[in-house]
Amino acid sequence: MTTIGDGVYVVDETGRVLLENPAAKRLMGVAVSSDDPEAWQAYYGVFRADGSEPLPLDEMPLMRAMRGEHSVGAEVLLRNAERPDGVLLGVDARPLDPSAGRGGAVAVFRDITDLRQYESDLAIFAGVVAHDLKSPLAIVRGHCELALDDPGDEIEVRASLVRIVRAVDRMDTLIETLLAYSTARDAPLALADLPLEPLVRDVLQERAASLRSCGGPDPEWSGGPDPEWTVGPLPAVRADPAMLRHVLDNLIGNAFKYVRPDAVPRADVTAAEAAPGWVRIRVADAGIGIPEPDKARIFDSFHRAPGSAGYDGTGLGLAICRRVVERHGGEIGVEDNPGGGTCFHFTLPAAVNEEEPGMKHIPTEPAEEEDARVRAALDRALAERAAIMDSRLPGLSALPAAEPSAHDPSAARLRAPVPDHQHGV
C-alpha cells in the first residue's frame, strides 16, 4: 500500500475515511483527509476536468460509488494550495461489496496530467505534419507536371527542378525535426565529458556554410552579408554529445536565420559558472528579437512568435531544446540581448571525472538494463496492488484486479512515447 503510485481511498457509507495510502494524500495535496462529503469540493478543490467550474458533489466519482454506481475512467481536476497549477486525475470508483455487511466505496486514482498534455500535443502534431508535408508535396507535384507538359524549355525545367529540391528539403527538415522531437523525450542519455568549444565552433562553421550554400535564411534570398560570430572561453561539460549538438545547432541556426533583411547574421557564444558543478551557456544574436508576451511560451511545442511568420520553421526547435536541457537536469531561458536581439541561456553539468557530492544524479545505465529494472518494479507494484484488492478490508474484493494494459500506460516498454507516472512514490 505504501509503495504503489496509484492513490487508494476507501470510505464508509457516511464518507468517513477507512483507508488511504500515501500516494492518495500526495496526489490530492493534503496531509489530513476530510470525513465530511459536503466539504470535499472546497477542501480538496475539486473541479470539472476542464477546470471551468467546481464539480457538484453528486457528480463526484466517490459519491456516485457510495450511491451504488460504478465510475470507470472519470476525470477530475484538483486545484488547491498545494496544487496551485492543478492536477488532472483519472478515477475508478466502485461500491464496497455489500456482502461484507458495510456500505461505502473505494476509489483508485492516478495523475494523468502529462498524459492528456501528451495527447493534446499529438493532436496538434498531426495537424502540423499534415499541413507542412502536404504543402511541399503540392509544390513537387505542380512543378513535375509543368516540366512534363513542356520538357523542351530548359530554363523553366531547371527552375522547376530547383523548386522541387527546395520542397523536398523542407519535407526532410520537418521529418528530421519530428524525429528529434521524439528522441528528445524518449532516447536514453549517452553522457560523456566533452569539450564545449570545438563542438560550438563546428556547429557555427557548419551553419554558416549551410547558409551560404542554400542561399540564405529566405529561399528567395539572392545574396547578403556572411554571418559573423564570436566564441568566448568555454569549459567542458557532461552531456549527451548528439543531443547537445542539436541544442546548439538550433540556437545558433535561429541566430543566423531570424535577422532583418540585409542585416548581418551574428551569434556570440559564451559560458560561465552557474553554480558549483554547473555551467551556464549563452547564445546571443542580433536578430529580430522576441516580444515580451511571447517569451513565456517560446519553448512550448508548435509555438511561433508573430514576428517569425515570414521565416521557415516548425515551432518545435525550442521545445526540443527545453526537453534536452531538462533531461540533463538543467534549465533554459531567454532574455533580451542588451546589444539588440535575443540571448538564450541554458545550464548543463560541468565535466567531472567522478560525480561530485551534491550534484544532481543523471542516470547513465543502458536502456536495456533500465527497461528490466522498471519492468521488475512495475511487476512488484502490480502484485502489491493485487494483494491490496484481495485484502480483508470490507468490500475491497469488489474492485477488479488491475490489468496492466487497461489503465496503466507504464506497463508498456519504458521507451514507449506515453510517459510513466505510476511509480513516482
The reply to whether 13 falls in a domain is: yes
Rounded Cα distance between 136 and 169, Å, is 9
Rounded Cα distance between 318 and 333, Å, is 10
Mark whether 96 and 126 lie in a shared domain.
Answer: no
Domain residue limits at 132: 114-187
Mark whether 316 and 376 lie in a shared domain.
Answer: no
What is the share, in percent, of the chain residues with pLDDT greater than 70?
A: 68
- The answer on pLDDT for 27 being more than 60 is yes
DSSP symbols for 60-118: SHHHHHHTT--EEEEEEEEEETTEEEEEEEEEEEEEPPGGGS--EEEEEEEE-HHHHHH
The reply to whether 419 falls in a domain is: no
The reply to whether 309 falls in a domain is: yes
- The answer on pLDDT for 219 being more than 80 is no
What is the share, in percent, of the chain residues with pLDDT greater than 90?
A: 32
Q: CB burial class (10 A; 0-12, 13-18, 19+) of residue 22? A: middle
Tell me the per-residue pLDDT of 156-213, one tens digit each, with 9 for 90 and over: 777 778 778 877 777 777 777 666 666 666 678 889 999 999 999 999 998 888 776 6
The total number of residues written for the chain in this structure = 425
The reply to whether 422 falls in a domain is: no
The reply to whether 326 falls in a domain is: yes
CA neighbor of 286 nearest in space, from 308, 315, 254, 316: 254
The reply to whether 57 falls in a domain is: yes
- The answer on pLDDT for 405 being more than 50 is no
Mark whether 216 and 355 lie in a shared domain.
Answer: yes
Mark whether 157 and 241 lie in a shared domain.
Answer: no
User: What pLDDT is attached to residue 198?
Assistant: 95
Q: What is the pTM of this model?
A: 0.52
Contacts 24+ apart (CB under 8 A), 303-307: 307/258
Mark whether 155 and 291 lie in a shared domain.
Answer: no
User: What pLDDT is attached to residue 183?
Assistant: 64
The reply to whether 92 falls in a domain is: yes
